[in-house]
């Protein structure tokens, strides 16, 4: 993973009629073959970033090179080498999965025989062979999302943008989608840029992640690197009385301590494996009656909290599974 495939320099977007920068001097570099995660709360600028990189929205400042092409000067060339799976559903419900693929192939001027072959390959890849000739309106939510995934691949792109590929799906269907996304990356040798609200998704799929909020990069790294930066494990404890919960705050060697509801505290220690025996000793020496204790190594949730100052749940808002009519303009060049 050494070849750069996307690079932005101070990429900025202010929508007309608004003076808020939806994307604010964004600098990111994505390597060929990565599954790169863009993580951020509602309104962070994820979709706007993808829209600019896929040449659907013109930047108001800065530049970006995608697969060697400038998104402004060479936008047509960029479009030929990318696939986009937008946040909203786009396939036509009154057509079959196969017909949807063939229609999109025609927008891209893919030769008909080639398109047939490709459609069959893609339908097989996401286990939609049997449903291929059924109307999309008969598909389950997961099947529909799988079809959306491969529609973005019919023109054999080098880069695939996935905007919230599992939004609105149940937990089990989401983890199935992860398998398909990994398969796509490996078997079709594409670079994937993925946005998500779901920390576990980014954790499970991404080689690297950038957390953005208010259009700005807060941090970039592998999820391991980001977690390591937090330097600390969390020990949650609940006591019988509030006094006892106060007392534990006197434990030495704390990196941080916060209240966590009535009679509960959240301690951060450098290394829980090392400190836990000392914590137990402190509790016993002070005769505190502990009713509950959990130990947590940092997760990407904690990383998010650390950098944005809010939990992803607070930031998440509705997260409705929106559905829009098929938009032909989207695909016209
Ligand atoms: N077409 C538009 N016109 C004006 N403002 C817009 C437009 N699209 C997005 N915005 C604003 O730009 C900011 C970034 O929005 P964007 O959709 O890029 O965020 P997001 O991270 O994709 O959010 P979500 O998680 O809700 O999909 C928000 O403040 C949003 O209200
Ligand atoms: Mg979005």
Nearest CA to ligand 1 atom 11: 22
| Ligand lying closest to the C-alpha of residue 22 | 1
Atom of ligand 1 nearest to the CA of 44: 21
| Ligand lying closest to the C-alpha of residue 163 | 2
CA of 249 to the centre of ligand 2 (A): 41
* Assigned token pair, 329: 């303009």
Nearest CA to ligand 1 atom 30: 43
Nearest CA to ligand 1 atom 25: 42
pTM check: above 0.75? yes
pLDDT of residue 306: 79
Do 193 and 266 fall within a single domain? no
How much is the average pLDDT of 303-318? Answer: 65
Mutate to test the pocket of ligand 1, among 39, 44, 312 (most ligand atoms within 8 A of CB): 44
Do 270 and 204 fall within a single domain? no
Number of separate domains in the chain: 2
CA of 53 to the centre of ligand 1 (A): 15
Q: What is the CATH number of the domain that holds 243?
A: 3.30.70.100
pLDDT surpassing 70 at residue 35: yes
How much is the average pLDDT of 115-138? Answer: 97
Mutate to test the pocket of ligand 1, among 19, 21, 22, 49 (most ligand atoms within 8 A of CB): 22
| Ligand lying closest to the C-alpha of residue 48 | 1
pLDDT surpassing 60 at residue 155: yes
pLDDT surpassing 90 at residue 84: yes
Q: Which domain holds residue 175?
A: 4-227+315-330
pLDDT of residue 227: 82
Do 223 and 237 fall within a single domain? no
| Ligand lying closest to the C-alpha of residue 44 | 1
pLDDT surpassing 70 at residue 107: yes
pLDDT of residue 311: 65
Residue 306 within a domain: no
DSSP letter for each residue of 46-81? HHHHHHHHTTSS--SEEEEEETTEETTTTHHHHHHH
Q: What is the CATH number of the domain that holds 132?
A: 3.40.50.300
Nearest CA to ligand 1 atom 26: 42
pLDDT of residue 313: 53
Do 161 and 257 fall within a single domain? no
pLDDT surpassing 90 at residue 299: no
Pocket of ligand 1, beta carbon within 6 A: 15, 18, 20, 22, 40, 42-48, 87
Do 169 and 268 fall within a single domain? no
Residue 248 within a domain: yes
CA of 331 to the centre of ligand 2 (A): 19
Among 177, 151, 159, smallest CA distance to 35 is for: 159
Do 153 and 250 fall within a single domain? no
pLDDT of residue 312: 61
Residue 236's SS3 state is strand
Do 199 and 282 fall within a single domain? no
Segment 222-270, tens digit of pLDDT: 988 888 877 788 899 999 999 999 999 999 989 889 898 899 999 999 8
pLDDT of residue 82: 97
Atom of ligand 1 nearest to the CA of 20: 29
pLDDT of residue 314: 56
Contact predicate 154/115, CB 8 Å: yes
Backbone angles phi, psi at 152, to 5 degrees: -70, -5
Do 33 and 170 fall within a single domain? yes
Residue 318: which pLDDT band, with cuts at 50, 70 and 90? very low
Mutate to test the pocket of ligand 1, among 12, 15, 213, 313 (most ligand atoms within 8 A of CB): 15
How much is the average pLDDT of 194-222? Answer: 92
Do 272 and 181 fall within a single domain? no
DSSP letter for each residue of 92-121? -TTSBHHHHHHHHHHHTT--HHHHHHHHHH
What strands, in cross-sheet order, belong to the sheet with 208-213? 82-85, 159-163, 191-196, 35-39, 208-213, 216-221
Atom of ligand 1 nearest to the CA of 47: 22
Report d(CA 176, CA 145) in Å as an integer.
Answer: 11
CA of 43 to the centre of ligand 2 (A): 7
CA of 211 to the centre of ligand 2 (A): 14
Residue 276 within a domain: yes
pLDDT surpassing 70 at residue 315: no
pLDDT surpassing 90 at residue 33: yes
pLDDT surpassing 60 at residue 200: yes
Across the chain, mean pLDDT equals 89
Number of helices (H), then strands (E), in the chain: 12, 15
| Ligand lying closest to the C-alpha of residue 40 | 1
Do 11 and 103 fall within a single domain? yes
Do 244 and 99 fall within a single domain? no
């Amino acid at each position: 993973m050494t070849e750069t495939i996307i690079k932005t320099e101070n990429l900025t977007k202010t929508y007309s009629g608004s003076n808020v920068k939806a994307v604010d001097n964004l600098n990111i570099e994505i390597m060929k073959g990565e599954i790169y995660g863009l993580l951020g709360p509602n309104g962070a600028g994820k979709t706007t970033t993808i829209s600019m990189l896929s040449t659907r929205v013109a930047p108001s400042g800065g530049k970006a090179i995608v697969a060697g092409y400038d998104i402004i000067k060479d936008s047509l060339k960029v479009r030929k080498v990318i696939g986009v799976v937008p946040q909203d559903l786009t396939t036509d419900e009154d057509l079959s999965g196969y017909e949807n693929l063939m229609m999109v192939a025609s927008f891209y001027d893919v030769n008909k025989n080639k398109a047939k072959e490709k459609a069959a390959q893609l339908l097989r890849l996401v286990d939609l062979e049997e449903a291929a000739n059924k109307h999309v309106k008969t598909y389950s939510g997961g099947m529909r999302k799988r079809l959306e995934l491969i529609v973005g691949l019919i023109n054999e792109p080098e880069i695939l943008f996935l905007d919230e590929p599992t939004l609105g799906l149940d937990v089990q269907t989401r983890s199935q989608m992860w398998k398909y996304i990994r398969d796509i990356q490996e078997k079709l040798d594409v670079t994937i840029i993925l946005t998500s609200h779901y920390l576990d998704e980014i954790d499970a799929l991404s080689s690297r992640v950038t957390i953005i909020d208010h259009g700005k990069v807060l941090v970039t790294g592998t999820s391991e690197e980001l977690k390591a930066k937090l330097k600390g494990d969390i020990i949650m404890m609940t006591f019988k009385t509030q006094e006892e919960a106060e007392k534990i705050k006197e434990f030495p060697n704390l990196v941080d301590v916060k209240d966590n509801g009535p009679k509960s505290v959240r301690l951060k220690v450098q290394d829980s494996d090392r400190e836990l025996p000392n914590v137990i000793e402190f509790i016993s020496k002070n005769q505190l009656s502990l009713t509950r204790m959990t130990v947590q190594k940092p997760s990407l949730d904690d990383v998010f909290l650390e950098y944005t100052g809010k939990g992803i749940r607070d930031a998440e808002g509705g997260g409705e599974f929106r559905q829009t009519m098929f938009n032909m303009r989207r695909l016209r060049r």
